[in-house]
Amino acid sequence: MADEIIYFISDTHLGDGTGADRFRFPAQLMGLLARIEAEPRAHLVLLGDFMELWATGLEGCLVRHAATFGRLGAIANTHPVTYVVGNHDCLPWYYFIDQGAGRIRVAERFTAARGGLVALHGHQFDPFNKVKITEGHVKVPWIRRLVQAMGFLGRVGGQETGDLLADAGGALEQAASALETLLPAWDEDSRKSLRGLLRGTVDILSRESPGERGYPPGERTYQEAALGLMRSGARIVVMGHTHHPMMRRYGNRTYVNTGSWVSDKYPPTYARYAGGQIQLLEANTHQPYSPPEGEQQ
């Protein structure tokens, strides 16, 4: 309905305050939550990966960000709040789908405007991060174990998980180039195989946890998924997951990615739906998001 007001926040990745906690903008998040609480008709949708429960634990997350969860509880007393499950917070929240957690509804997908607006985290379209439910049991992707290992390194070493992954990826890329130089006698097929193996590993390291830099380029996958939902009747599709804030229009239909709150490349962003229209806004200014110079939407 046109009088609906809905806020979408995703990919804050709230952790335990150690080097594995990549959340960067506490003041902006608390300011946005206060803004939502002051808007009587607002509905808050946490669009997945609100909590970082692969690299860190639930207890540490709740203790570190007690003020944030306290504010969420206060909002839930007076406003509808929906927690859409992502991949990094799939456990335990997948088991709360359709049951809820207190006053907070837990869901895999959110719809509004009589089905004209569809929102989901987006990991469903990522082969590396897809979560499956089989006979009532949640099957997490194997790559979660790598995230847990990198989270441990982040806690011990003090570096954020995303930076560690990027460092590992960069080292492998350098190794690929060095080996090609040191082994000029290799035939071209062998060189291509080596290059493919190492760079494939780099890609896996990047995709398991996007960190501050975002997932590798691949927005087309999510845009095509959004177009599929539009062909099924949606006018507006909202996703997170990629950490790349963007808004793209297809005639009278719109795809929005809510970005993240862990980036050193992009500002923290969120989406606001009101009056039948959706905006992608910067949390620093609450003004429409503008992509970096040279980056297309």
Tens digits of residue pLDDT in 239-293:
999 999 999 999 999 999 999 999 888 999 999 999 999 999 999 999 999 998 7
CB-CB contact of 234 with 243 (8 Å): no
- For residue 85, the model assigns a pLDDT of 96
Domain boundary among 188, 208, 228: 208
- Using the Cα atoms of residue 232, residue 237, residue 242 and residue 246 in order, give the sign of their dihedral: positive
Residue 220 has pLDDT above 90, yes or no: no
Is 273:45 a contact under the CB 8 Å cutoff?
no
In this prediction, residue 134 carries a pLDDT of 76
Rounded CA-CA distance 173/203 in Å is 10
- Which of 9, 10, 89 has its CA nearest to residue 43? 9
Nearest to 270 by CA among 8, 84, 11, 43: 8
**CA dihedral defined by 14, 7, 144, 226, rounded to 10 degrees?**
-160
3 state DSSP class of 255: strand
**Geometric angle at alpha carbon 92, from 87 and 97, rounded to 5°:** 85
Digit-coded pLDDT (tens) for 3-13: 789 999 999 99
pLDDT tens-digit series, residues 47-81: 999 999 988 999 999 999 999 999 999 999 999 99
In this predicted model, which residue has the larger pLDDT, 43 or 171?
Answer: 43
> Which pLDDT score is estimated for 296?
65
Task: Please answer whether residues 86 and 48 qualify as being in contact, where contact means their C-beta atoms are separated by less than 8 angstroms.
Answer: yes
Are residue 44 and residue 22 in the same domain, yes or no? Answer: yes
Q: Report the pLDDT averaged over residues 206-234.
A: 75
Check residues 249 and 142 and name the one with the higher pLDDT.
249
Look at residues 208, 227, 250 and tell me which one is the last residue of a structural domain.
208
Q: Is the model's pLDDT at 128 over the cut of 60?
A: yes
The domain in which residue 98 lies consists of 5-141+216-282
Mean pLDDT within 172-184: 57
pLDDT for residue 202:
52
**Domain co-membership, 86 together with 33:** yes
Asked if 37 contacts 78 with a C-beta cutoff of 8 angstroms, the reply is yes
H or E segment to which residue 159 belongs: none
pLDDT, greater one: 98 or 94: 94
Q: Choose one of 153, 186, 208: the last residue of a domain.
A: 208
One domain for residues 56 and 176: no
Burial (0-12, 13-18, 19+ Cβ within 10 Å), 54: buried
% of the chain with per-residue pLDDT over 70: 73
Give the percent of the chain with pLDDT over 90: 57
Q: Which residues of 210-223 are buried (b: 16+ CB within 10 A; e: fewer)?
A: bbbbbbeeebeebb
Please tell me whether residue 113 adopts helix, strand or coil conformation. helix
21 and 75 share one domain = yes
pLDDT of residue 44: 98
Least confident range of 124-133, 151-160, 251-260:
151-160
Mean pLDDT in residue range 181-191: 58
Structure confidence at residue 193 (pLDDT): 58
**Residue-level pLDDT at 166:** 47
Does residue 104 sit in helix, strand or coil?
Answer: strand
Distance CA 85, CA 49 (A): 7
CA distance 289 to 247: 9
Mean pLDDT for the stretch of residues 110-130: 91
Count structural domains, the chain: 2
| Residue 107 contacts residue 83 (beta carbons within 8 Å) | yes
Same domain, 191 and 124: no
- Asked whether residue 37 falls in the same domain as residue 75, the answer is yes
* pLDDT at res. 290: 94
**pLDDT at position 140, please?**
82
CA distance 157 to 165: 13
Tell whether 263 and 117 lie within a shared domain.
Answer: yes
Q: Tokens at residue 47, please?
A: 């669009």
* Placement of tokens 């203790």 in the chain: 63
**Does the pLDDT of residue 163 top 70, yes or no?**
no
Q: Rounded mean pLDDT of the chain?
A: 83
User: Is residue 71 domain-shared with residue 55, that is, in the same domain?
Assistant: yes
The pLDDT value given to residue 206 = 52
Encoded amino acid at 25, one letter: F
Res 171 pLDDT > 60: no
Query: For residue 286, what pLDDT is reported?
Result: 98
Mean pLDDT along residues 135-164: 67
Dihedral, 163, 164, 169, 172 alpha carbons, nearest 10: 140
